[in-house]
Structure 1
């Protein structure tokens, strides 16, 4: 099945909004710079959980992006700050003191400084198809179905693919430009898909529909077998 890369996304800070890219290098850990940082309560060290804790729900309203001067945070009021200078703005946004901490495999459980344990372990590349997005739009014509709700790294346009088809591709390889991926498992969705972000409103119907139609699965998670660079418009092929 042949198609192309329709969109490429990176999320420098887990839980915050991501950045849409034209190109990015990819290795065994995923897109360069993807989910390198986490968000935590400065006092308790609690990791952000927007999908389960209301106090963290404003997180995806902030966009994190890479810039020439380093990581920047773009706030809903239109302001943009270097991450290291955004402490006061983050506190004002959430209503309590917040800090960014790098993710690290050797992070100590419950530590309030140093590396932060990832919120969850996952395979590094998250892929969805335009066919699945279109199918969900048909199921929920009154909802704002947008790829941002699902936080994919790759959005593939594969003419001829049916909605939710990627759930049936577990174990198959995908060639994206010169990069070879292996589809390992379906992506189990949570309430993050329903919360407001940017111009997308709170919408519990999204998760309800995915649960009813595809057993909470939307998109797939992949490992990287051959590293390289991916660009928007690159040829993409799902192999038998």
Structure 2
């Protein structure tokens, strides 16, 4: 077991496909970060499917955050700020109508309890991890600055040894952050979502093409929560060989 870096940023997304919030500390539950992707809109034009950035890129410009004390019984209010600065709260009927007008389709809000997000916070896995060294290398390969929010990670690690894509070597290994224990399971395969700029929702397909060419369409890794715990920015990350 040896230290490999620290948590540089913790990001969670109270509403699926909306822009998330950067927090200084967080509870990590069995399903992932507390409240991560706990609220979503079902796309009524596609049975049992969620409305996401893939169908509606403009969603990436909507900011969602929890306000108030967090509880395992109920979520604090979820505040949503639109690109033009209008503020809604989750549960407002007008918010639903607003999203329907923007997406051009019927949607239904759904919310999962704080103790149990049934599909896993990201559907594919509990948490997603990106490292600063890999991000910097990808910027070099793409030739442009990259906003890490394009990748929608939960953790951005700053590494002590700046080795790009070193996380390839973590597959099947454990990470320990305080009392939290994670098992790194697999690479994160990328899709059109990374082509959408979180600032203005404009698309640039060359980033995805670069990831396909240089990284076999993978960037970042997924991990499973083995032991829940509370974590905070600046905390040391240990790799268990």
TM-score (norm 1): 0.85
Q: Aligned runs of 1:76-155 on 2, under 5 Å?
A: 76-85=83-92, 86-102=95-111, 121-142=123-144, 144-155=145-156
Secondary structure of the corresponding residue to residue 58 of structure 1:
helix
Deviations 1:181-212 (A, max 9, x none): 11011111111110132246422111111111
Is the 1:103–1:117 Cα contact (8 Å) retained in structure 2?
Answer: no
Is the 1:16–1:63 Cα contact (8 Å) retained in structure 2?
Answer: yes
Query: 1:48 pairs with 47, 51, 59, which one?
Result: 51
Please give the alpha-carbon distance, in whole angstroms, between the structure 2 residues aligned to 1:181 and 1:119. Answer: 14
Please say which of residues 127-136 and 170-179 is displaced more in the overlay: 170-179
Please say which of residues 94-103 and 158-167 is displaced more in the overlay: 94-103
Is the 1:131–1:158 Cα contact (8 Å) retained in structure 2?
Answer: yes
Per the alignment, residue 72 of structure 2 pairs with none
Is the 1:91–1:98 Cα contact (8 Å) retained in structure 2?
Answer: yes
Per the alignment, residue 108 of structure 1 pairs with none
Per the alignment, residue 227 of structure 1 pairs with 228
Report whether the alignment pairs 1:213 with 2:231. no
Structure 1 residues 34 and 120: alpha-carbon distance in aligned structure 2, compared to 1, 3 A threshold: closer
Q: Offset at 1:2?
A: 2.2
Is the 1:101–1:116 Cα contact (8 Å) retained in structure 2?
Answer: no
Deviations 1:7-42 (A, max 9, x none): 001111221111111111012111110111222235
Deviations 1:120-179 (A, max 9, x none): 73220111101111001111223x411100010011001214212212210111112321
Please give the alpha-carbon distance, in whole angstroms, between the structure 2 residues aligned to 1:224 and 1:155. Answer: 16
Per the alignment, residue 174 of structure 2 pairs with 173
Report whether the alignment pairs 1:189 with 2:190. yes
Report whether the alignment pairs 1:63 with 2:70. no
Please give the alpha-carbon distance, in whole angstroms, between the structure 2 residues aligned to 1:50 and 1:212. Answer: 23
Please say which of residues 15-24 and 83-92 is displaced more in the overlay: 83-92
TM-score (norm 2): 0.84
Per the alignment, residue 26 of structure 1 pairs with 28
Is the 2:37–2:122 Cα contact (8 Å) retained in structure 1?
Answer: no
The unaligned stretches of length 5 or more in structure 2 are: 69-75
Is the 2:14–2:36 Cα contact (8 Å) retained in structure 1?
Answer: yes
